[in-house]
Structure 1
């Protein structure tokens, strides 16, 4: 089953699950309870912490939920904040960080690279968490739309349409969709 966030990020071949950690967790859990898929492939956009360029396409089976306050030693969590899919077929190019907030401080977000985290997407951590709970193999494919800087939203809006086309073309080339 191919899934995506929704709202302005929808595809005719993917099921939207909602934007952010909470909506996506609730809706994907509901889907798994009523009609558990054999496999989940999450597709969507991402912001780069600096290493990856706009329109790069990345595959991942690892996600984190690390807030910016963690980087400044202003918070801690007792929860496991990095997850990895047991999927043996997914490539593992980068860890995808998820938060309900879009990062706009490039000086702070460059620190994510020290933890091996390359991009951010609002939903992916909750997708891995739900997949883990239901023992469903999962992977993600992301296209970079912006850098995590003060222009993040403006660049996301400017690049989104072309990025979604590039992501769709990638899925066709990899014979994931027709």
Structure 2
């Protein structure tokens, strides 16, 4: 099976030791537009069997160090628009893991304590899920919680990247 693995930044890259899989890593850049563009280009060039998003996230409900595999996505930037044809929530099919969480995606690094839907909060997953849904590709996102929204800062995220790589590596080695 050929899998494109999307990472937002090089500091999130980990080895994905999946048996019988050809892994194609892609650094998408931060944010929904960068993620959608970079992933679309990779999918068109590589023609994978599925896409895996791997990275870090914040949370309001869980603990630093928790890992979530998700196939349910919310776009917090679009969720308050009540316009026909606007998709702000979607589910993806997946071939790997046992999805058990919801990702809330938006184009900002959330630092205030406004209550948001979902288990984890990121800046890319919804856009990548939408690309895969439109291209009929299985998609799952695996996120390591690096920070508690409203209690930590961008600096806290940067300080936790090493822990995130170790935690994500343990997750994939246990699969």
- Contact 1:46 1:145 (8 Å CA) reproduced: yes
TM-score, normalising length: structure 2: 0.84
For residues 6 and 158 of structure 1, what CA distance do their matches in structure 2 show? 14
> Cα RMSD between the aligned structures?
1.9
- Contact 1:4 1:11 (8 Å CA) reproduced: no
1:138: Cα distance to partner? 0.6
2:32 corresponds to 1:29: no
Give per-residue Cα distances to partners, 1:99-141, cap 9 Å, x unaligned.
11011111x1x3x24xxx1111111001101101111001111
Aligned to 2:162: 161
Whichever structure has more strand as a proportion of its residues is 2
Q: Secondary structure at the match of 1:8?
A: helix
For residues 58 and 101 of structure 2, what CA distance do their matches in structure 1 show? 12
- Contact 2:32 2:127 (8 Å CA) reproduced: yes
Where in structure 2 are the equivalents of 1:37-116 lying within 5 Å?
37-49=48-60, 51-67=61-77, 75-78=80-83, 79-87=86-94, 89-106=96-113, 108=114, 110=115, 112-113=116-117
Q: Secondary structure at the match of 1:141?
A: strand
2:121 corresponds to 1:120: yes
Aligned pair count reads: 162
1:154: Cα distance to partner? 2.3
Relative distance call for 1:27 and 1:88 in structure 2 (3 A) is closer
TM-score, normalising length: structure 1: 0.82
2:141 corresponds to 1:137: no
